[in-house]
Amino acid sequence: MAFTIIPIASVVIPVYWNVDSPAVHRFKYKYPMMFSSGLGCNLSFPSCLGYPRDSEELIPKMAREPIILNVYDMYWINEYTTPIGLGVFHSGVEIYGTEYAYGGHPKPKSGIFEITPRVAEELGEQFRYRQSVHIGYTDFTEEDVTRIINELGKDFRGDRYHLMNKNCNHFSSQFTLILCGQEIPGWVNRLAYFSSCVPFLQRCLPKEWLTPDALQHSLNQVSHHESTPPSDTSL
């Protein structure tokens, strides 16, 4: 439990923070300086609390953007897991018209990529769209989401991907937890709970199966950009 003093219109208000709550976890992403520097809150408040009415325009409106989890069957991998009673699913989180997901690759860079929501063809021929699950709502803006994705990319790197221990569903669950305080349904990542039963599975699968087409396309674009010399514009 943390304690902060917030001055509002010459009145000192003590605020008790449950530092482990999802709300505070999301607040840290929106206002990191308050937690990293120990500074008090400098947010604007409406005129009913003593501030000019013009300052109300500075208060961000609640976006209430829906958060959707899109789930896909990975039916090539399911040929290995169905005999032992396990289904393998890929998932991505849809927000503001973009679906974010995570996949593996050999480079020490972010493995997070974007696709058109629910378009399985962008993932590859082994993926089939299964269903969508409404997780909740968020007041994060599109700019906030971009910043969160960039931060998550430092942990969810392509070379850290593991089918059981750090997969696309682990990313989806972490992302939705930040956005709205809710994790994804347990059945989506059921394989992770049985990882001790199938330790051989990832070694048996072709590595390209763990890199969706959309992620590989993104990597190819980055490689092409890095290998292309800058044009000479000098006179």
Quick one: which of 209, 111, 93 has its CA closest to 155? 111
3-state class (DSSP) for residue 227: helix
90 noted as active-site residue: yes
Is the separation of the CB atoms in 71 and 93 below 8 Å?
Answer: no
Torsion of CA 151, 24, 92, 154, to 10 degrees: 20
How many Å apart are CA 207 and CA 19, to the nearest integer? 40
C-alpha triplet 18, 19, 21: angle, nearest 5° = 70
Q: Residue 209's closest CA among 127, 87, 122, 101?
A: 127
Which has the closest alpha carbon to 185: 112, 118, 89, 44?
Answer: 89
Catalytic residue, from 48, 134, 168, 180: name it: 168
Write down the catalytic residue from 90, 105, 170, 180. 90
| Torsion angle, alpha carbons of 104, 132, 99, 109, to 10 | -20
Q: Is 48 a catalytic residue?
A: no
CA–CA dist 148, 179 (Å, integer): 9
103 in Cβ contact with 124 (< 8 Å):
no
Residue 164, token pair as written in the block? 């059981």
Residues annotated as catalytic (active site), given as ranges: 90, 168
